[in-house]
Each structure stands twice: as structure tokens, then as C-alpha cells.
Chains A and B, each alone.
Chain A
């Protein structure tokens, strides 16, 4: 039996600040609100459809640095296909290359990435993700 191919997309990943992230980080970084607002990837409606998932189901975002599972969200500010957005936080940091090109600043926006449907994969909460990185993950 042939393995079913997991639908995926080549995208440009942007990270940035959001109102939800700003509000929930002061409620508490280990709160459910912070997890809900930050462990997400905003995708265009057509892109979500082409992954064969519904908004709210998990996706796996990967770059040359690593990969992370986050919840998909229908983007309200991205009209274009192929551009995805994740709020600043540890989840997107798992994907950011460390190279600063002699400036001290890593590339945190405009990174080549791949998004794949991962409705059955579990999303790690902040504490688990910190433990994961502390172990070298």
C-alpha cells in the first residue's frame, strides 16, 4: 500500500507582534490565553483549503532550522497566498535561523518555510517546549 502524501506548501514566513500576543503575555506566558494567541500560524483561506484541513487544525511549520506544530488560523491581515504569519514567541523561534550576518539581528521575517497539514500531531505547550529545547531539541 502506498503511503499517503501529506499535503504541504512552500511559503514565506513572517513573524510579528499581535494585539492578542500583547494582551495575553501580561495575563501570563503559561496561560491558556497565551497558548491560544501565540502558538498559531495564520494562513490564507485558499492555503488552508489546499492543505486539506479546516482552520483551527494543527499544521507543522518547518525551515532549515527546525520544525514546530502550531494551530492554523485563518489570516485576517494576509490576503496573499504563500505568505504565512506567526506571532513572536518560542514557537516561531524554533524556526528562526541564528545567522545574523554581522549585525546581531537574525532574520525574523521573510524566511522560506514549508507548512504541512498535521491535524493529528500534538502541539507542545510553553513548558514542554522549553524543556524540549533545554534537552537540545
Chain B
């Protein structure tokens, strides 16, 4: 294969966070990334370091140690583990393509497992809230062009989604809004984050106090009187002023983060946030949007919903899809010790789950498909190297506002490395043969 001469590739879609910015300029020479322009510091780090610390061969555990193995051996061992398991967990899916999620769902049907994605420890409660209330949402494009009030609640995009503010909200240039001059930015958080430092107004809420504060804000928006002087650490007059600001804007938006989903109240916090926005739409135009973390966590939800009707935590052990968060969610399945094998794709549960869940993961055979070594690698039975979506392999992804984008590869993968889709399809072919007794 001929190597590319020095080429500048415009409009590369960043596969880091849920913002999936589409304005990177990547300079490539001899199949190597020389430089990246327009990216945030996370994106620069990803594109300039994606070749570092990489798995280049499959690994299979033999006599207690992970040893290099052929691709075929790793596929056979994986199929043996999954076909022989009673109740496997198939987890991850948010840092790979929709095509990989689709292949994973077919595999989950064949092995009768639980198919869960990283939403489960991220915006899972958001989805539960949306089931209850519904969601007044839109695209980031509408917000760029129209929003004059932007509220970040329990979210610190300067660290988690570094270009979100500049590209999609307060500091973006819209058709009808001039950056900052025409927009007001409010941050509500338990600490004065770097995002709060950029805001016109910062409101500090006590930890685990979001539900009460939002209920009070809802009351103020509806014109009810607040009888307490301070609610969740916020003086009543500040709440009333914020309600006036929200009612008085032409087009507002609340972007909310894990400050609502990971704290006391969880989906009930989201319920009240969604209800607040519903109420506000009786007075003005207001949207709400979760700050989705990984670049394709939205796609993992979409694919799961297209195929089974449920966005995550889908149990296929009965031969049909069941969905019962709190029961069929990955952390609960692991902590109860129910699953007897796991397939981890594009994720690192040991770095993201409570230790009790990871302890069970360490006891069962785990197959990991990941370009890089992670905290889940040392406890794995089989490890597959894989290509990187959006750099070495194409695939559909879904941005945080639900817009589907096709990513394009711009460098070839290292020799002999297969994509997530190919690996999953090869495991599936072996599982089918085992299940059908051929």
C-alpha cells in the first residue's frame, strides 16, 4: 500500500467526547499524524498519541498469564467462553461505531446475555427520567443560532467537553446571536469549576441538593411563593431572579451533566429538570440536553433501541428483550455475581465501576476488545487489539443531540489489526457453529 504524501485532511470528526466536533484539520505524512489544528487539548492528546501504548497482537491467558496468540486462537477461545456461558454480560459500546453495536446485539441474542452500554454509569438516570416525563430537545445547531440563555447544571464542559462552549453554546457565533454579547451563561454546580469561572452568574448548590433547588425553581417559574429563605444553599431571591431570567429569555437551554445523575435523587433529579423545561415552554422557548460523555454513547442507545426497543441494560437471556434498570444493569448484574463471563468492547469497566463490581469481573473470564491496554486488560482472559473508529476505520456515530455522523478513516491501521465489527462477526460465526452443533 502506498503511503500518503504530506496531506492536510480538513473537517475530520473528533472521536473523543460527545460533542464530536467536525472541524479538525489533521496533517498526515507517511501514515502518521504530524499535527492537529482546531482540536481541544483532549482531542490533540488523542490524535497525537493514538499510536502510543497500543496492543498489536491478540493475547490469550495460558497457565495464568496473558500470552501472545494468533487471531484465530483468540476468536476460538472467545467463542468457547461465550457459547459456554449461562448469562454473559456484553458491555461497553460507547467508543465504537453503531455498526459494532449492531454486531454486538446479534451476538448477545445468540449467547443469551445482557447487553449494556456505558450509559448505565453515565446518563442512565437521564433515560429513566425521559421515560417518565419526555424531553423538550433540539439540535446543537438550533442552540448555536438562537439561544440567548445557556445554563450548565452539574456539568463542567471546560474539562469534560472542552470545545462545547465555544462551538455550540455561549461563545459560539450563531446566525442570530453574537458570541457572549447576546448570550447569558449561568452555571449551577457544587463547586466553582473552571466552567463557572466563565459564567455571567454562578449559583452554588449544596452537594445532593439539586432536587430541592430545582423544585423551588419550578415553583418560582409557576409563580408560587417560596417560604424558606435558603434552599439547598441558595437564597430564595437568587432562585426567583433565575426564574425571571429563564422566563424572560427568548430561547434558553439547560445542558446538564452527571452532577444530576450520579447524586442522590438520580432519575428524579432529571424528572424535575425535564418538568422545569416543560413548564418554561408555557412562557418562552426552552430546551434541555444531557452532556453525553463518550463520542458514541448516543449511538449505543440508538442502536439498542432500534433493535430491541430498549436503550441499554437489555437482557436477552429469555430469548426476547427484557429491560429492568436496577436489575439488568451491568453494575447490578456484576455485584449480584449473576454473570459468568463478560465481553468488553471499547470500554474500561474496572476504571469506571465500583470496586465490588470489578471484583466479580476479576473472577470470571473476560474478553476485551480495545486498541489500548486498560485497567480491565490485566484481569482479561482474551484481549483483542483493534482499529480506532474515526482514525483507522469508518463507522456511524451519534452526536450528543442525536445527529448521526459518518466518520472517515485517514490512516491505515497497523498490519493485521481487525476492526471491532470484524472481530465480533468472527466470534459470532464460531458461536453460531457451536450453538448449532456444527
Report how far A17 CA is from B262 CA in the complex, Å: 13
B362 within 8 A of A: yes
Q: Do residues B266 and A94 form an inter-chain contact, with CB atoms below 8 A?
A: no
Q: Do residues A131 and B378 form an inter-chain contact, with CB atoms below 8 A?
A: yes
B1 within 8 A of A: no
Least CB distance, B430 to chain A, in whole angstroms: 28
Report how far A98 CA is from B372 CA in the complex, Å: 27
Q: Do residues B125 and A105 form an inter-chain contact, with CB atoms below 8 A?
A: yes
Report how far A130 CA is from B368 CA in the complex, Å: 15
Chain A residues, Cβ within 8 Å of B357: 98
Q: Do residues A126 and B375 form an inter-chain contact, with CB atoms below 8 A?
A: yes
Report how far A65 CA is from B17 CA in the complex, Å: 30
Chain A residues, Cβ within 8 Å of B121: 104-106, 108
Task: Name A94's contact: one of B262, B352, B355, B372 (CB within 8 Å).
Answer: B355
Q: Do residues B359 and A22 form an inter-chain contact, with CB atoms below 8 A?
A: no
A76-98 contact mask (Cβ, 8 Å, vs B): 1 or 0:
11111001010011100111111
B263 within 8 A of A: yes
A5-38 contact mask (Cβ, 8 Å, vs B): 1 or 0:
0000000101111110011101111110000000
A109 within 8 A of B: yes
User: Which residue of B52, B158, B263 has the most chain A CB atoms within 10 A of its CB atom?
Assistant: B263
Chain A's closest residue to B333 (CB) is: A104
Q: Given contacts A28-B53, A28-B373, are A100 and B42 in contact (CB under 8 A)?
A: no
Least CB distance, A14 to chain B, in whole angstroms: 7
Chain A residues, Cβ within 8 Å of B348: 29
Chain B residues, Cβ within 8 Å of A27: 45, 49, 52-53
Q: By DSSP majority rule, is chain A's interface helix, strand, loop, or mixed?
A: loop
Chain A residues, Cβ within 8 Å of B267: 103
Chain B residues, Cβ within 8 Å of A77: 156, 191-194, 196
A134 within 8 A of B: yes
Name B6-48 residues within 8 Å CB distance of A. 16-17, 41-42, 45-46
Task: Name B258's contact: one of A23, A101, A109 (CB within 8 Å).
Answer: A109
Chain A's closest residue to B357 (CB) is: A98
Q: Do residues A19 and B331 form an inter-chain contact, with CB atoms below 8 A?
A: no
Chain B's closest residue to A97 (CB) is: B354
Q: Do residues B52 and A29 form an inter-chain contact, with CB atoms below 8 A?
A: no
Q: Do residues B208 and A110 form an inter-chain contact, with CB atoms below 8 A?
A: yes
Q: Do residues A110 and B351 form an inter-chain contact, with CB atoms below 8 A?
A: no
- The contact sample of 29 A-B pairs, CB cut-off 8 A, is A16-B159, A17-B159, A17-B293, A22-B42, A22-B159, A23-B45, A26-B46, A29-B348, A30-B53, A77-B192, A77-B193, A80-B191, A83-B207, A93-B351, A93-B353, A98-B354, A102-B327, A103-B329, A104-B332, A105-B262, A106-B331, A106-B354, A109-B190, A109-B258, A110-B262, A127-B378, A129-B375, A130-B362, A134-B379
Shortest 9 CB-CB contacts between residues of A and residues of B: A104-B329, A28-B53, A102-B326, A98-B356, A134-B362, A23-B45, A96-B354, A110-B207, A22-B42
Beyond known contacts A100-B329, A106-B354: 11 more, CB 8 A cutoff: A26-B50, A30-B53, A65-B355, A85-B191, A96-B355, A98-B331, A102-B325, A103-B329, A104-B120, A109-B258, A110-B207
